[in-house]
Amino acid sequence: MPALGEVASSREAALYVVKLGSATLLHSQVFDELLELSRRGARLLVIAGGAAGIAEHYRRTGREIRTLVSRNGDEIRYCPPSEMRHIVAAYEEVTLPLVEEELTRRGLSVFAAVARTGALVKATVNGPLRVREDGRTRLVRDHRAGTVSSVDVPRLTGLLSTFDVVCLSPPVADAEGGTPLNVDADVLAAEAALALDADHLRLVTGTAGLLTDPADPASSLRHLTEGEGRRYAKGRMRQKVRAAEIALRGTSDTAITGPHTLSAAGATWFWRAPAPAPDLDLLARTVELSSVSRDEREIAEFLAEWCADHGVKAEIDAANNLVATKGAGSRRLLMLGHLDTVPHRWPVRWDGEVLSGRGSVDAKGSLVTYLQTLASYDPPEGVELRVVGAVEEEITGAGAFHVRDAYPADAVVVGEPSGAEALTLGYYGLVKVRFSVREPTGHTAGEGVRTAGDRMVDVLSKVPAAVAALHPDALTAVLGVSALNQGDTQSGEAVVDVRVPPGLDPDETVAALRALASGPVRADVLRATPGVTTRRTSPLVKAFQRAFSEEGVTPRYLMKKGSSDMNTLATTWRGVPMVAYGPGDARLDHTPDEHLHADEFRRAQRLLTAAVREWSSM
């Protein structure tokens, strides 16, 4: 198996932290959903609630569940030291075996344990508990409840890389020693998501998220920011809201989902970066949703639901692309954006009207302008407008290859940052090759022995000259190198990226790189797409020119040395005019300073809508 991915990144698969209440554990569909997530490659940490399991264990053993009433009237399970071993037993003998059995039956490997095991999670003891009793308030000092203080990230990360599913439950270890400490399972899930830098946190409940009226199952609150949900939360839902707001300190996208499902359709989302104006809501939320390459399903489903709410037909196709369509006819305009981003780990935020966050420029800002244009504009008869949010643009181009073969078009606008007042007319092509070697180990003191590292250095040292001989404007970069002695064998890999100017055949570039792989070294082509350009005289460019003129803009025309899904379409599409347009400064792509100003976004929205209108009326 290759040591280096398509972009030579060490980024691990997406991590879901999923809290399942004890009632949800009785619904088999939630385990089917976990299986589907695992099949998509996600890492899964499940936090299991135990109210039903504790009740069952106490019934079996003939014990009485002792409760207290808090000052605000909530019933609390009383957990003195003498009771903790029975609570641990309830999880270990009822709740965790249920989870393990359901998942194992589906072919998943499972590690299931209470979180105090090996001190995977530690907590500090809470102070005395104030309770109501006989109309009076008293202090309970022996209640064994705590606040999470640490999570053993290295060991949990190791477990997540070993097992398909890791399942933890309360209680946790007392950081100061002594009997275990009970903690709220929702809060445990939130703290674990924070510590592990999770991509997604789902708090699964028996209702469709948080309801404004508990008696009305259709009264779900769809979008909340910190502090907004507390006025509606009652009983156990208070802890879910509290947990969701704890998670806002991190980077995961967070939702309370249900009834008894992981699906976020109809869920309550919690957002850490509320937009300063309603027309920026979709932009802000899309940027907050984690969608690193191969983890685009959540954002695709979110945007499909948004489209349905705004009268746009949308679906997720066989390649997992989002496909939204309006109108029908023989003239077809494709607006092709992408859902995925390169890896990131910092919270999204607004500074006034400047949105900072991964994807704001590359290229969720563009995709959102396309979707909002589609929702706001009704094409004339005979015109079909289609927006596609493609998957894996940043790595394999898989989504765009599917688009190339499934959605023919007469003109294409590609969603990449050009800046609101510029238009990209073309891109360099891309050739990406993996060099690799695997051969028996030889002693380095032997005559003529070459290590895997030597082999990689040899071939990489020849790449720049070989590429320069093809075209002086071609660019090369080594994305990553790995060379290891693995017992009886040595293995080495290197991923090389070549940017191919228009006019240079990518097959010629591939042949030149293959020629460098001699002896035991082999070369495998990961990607080969041509450079592409569109003339200014094309009808598509003229439609943008008129839009720019309406706005009083003198546009800049760009030829980019990067590549995009435009190049993928160009592998087979001939004579189809294609440009790239979207808000933002492309120099910020893939950087920790990625940000987008609301004025830039709005201007791009106006200009794009005008250009689409002009093209549709031609």
Average pLDDT over residues 130-142: 85
pLDDT greater at residue 123 or residue 132:
123
For residue 616, the model assigns a pLDDT of 97
Would the pLDDT of 100 be above 60? yes
Residue 159 has pLDDT above 80, yes or no: yes
Q: What is the pLDDT of residue 562?
A: 86
In the structure encoding, which two tokens stand for residue 447, read together? 């005559």
Q: Bigger pLDDT: 218 or 375?
A: 375
The Cα–Cα gap between 364 and 342 comes to: 12
Beta pairing partners, 470 = none
Residue 175 has what pLDDT?
94
| Helix, coil or strand: residue 485 | strand
Q: Is 216 a catalytic residue?
A: no
C-alpha count within 13 angstroms, C-beta hemisphere, residue 57: 23
Q: What is the pLDDT of residue 518?
A: 87
Residue 521 predicted with pLDDT over 70: yes
* Banded pLDDT at 4 (limits 50, 70, 90): low
pLDDT score of 236: 86
Provide the percentage of residues in the chain whose pLDDT is more than 90. 82
pTM beyond 0.95, yes or no? no
Give the model's pLDDT for residue 76.
85
pLDDT tops 80 at residue 265: yes
Say if residues 193 and 251 touch (Cβ distance below 8 Å).
Answer: no
At residue 8, does pLDDT exceed 60?
no
Mean pLDDT of the chain: 93
pLDDT digits (tens, 9 = 90+) for 447-464: 557 788 889 999 999 999
Averaged pLDDT, 43-69: 92
Q: Is the pLDDT of residue 92 over 80?
A: yes
> What is the rounded average pLDDT of the residues 512-534?
93
**What pLDDT band is residue 442 in, cutting at 50, 70 and 90?**
low
Active-site residue, from 362, 393, 600, 614 = 393
Answer yes or no: is pLDDT of 434 > 70.
yes
The per-residue pLDDT for range 278-324, each reduced to its tens digit, is 999 999 999 999 999 999 999 999 999 999 999 999 999 999 999 99
Residue 539's pLDDT band, with cuts at 50, 70 and 90, is very high
Bigger pLDDT: 447 vs 214: 214
Alpha helices of 381-451 — where are they, by DSSP H? Answer: 398-406
The yes-or-no verdict on residue 388 having pLDDT over 60 is: yes
Amino acid in position 200: H
CA atoms within a 13 Å half-sphere pointing along the CA-CB vector of 415? 33
What is the average per-residue pLDDT within 331-349? 94
Across residues 233-246, what is the average pLDDT? 93
Give the pLDDT mean for 59-82.
87
φ, ψ of residue 105 to 5 degrees: the values are: -60, -25
Give me the mean pLDDT over the 34-47 stretch: 97
- Percent of the chain exceeding pLDDT 70 equals 97
Comparing C-alpha atoms, which of 600, 607, 531, 611 is closest to residue 564?
A: 531
Give the DSSP letter string of 329-387.
Answer: SSEEEEEEEE--B----S--EEETTEEESTTTTTTHHHHHHHHHHHHH--PPTTEEEEE
Residue 446 — very low, low, confident or very high, per pLDDT cuts 50/70/90?
low
Question: Of the residues 191, 288, 296, 340, which is catalytic?
Answer: 340
Average pLDDT, integer, range 112-139: 91
Q: Is 340 a catalytic residue?
A: yes
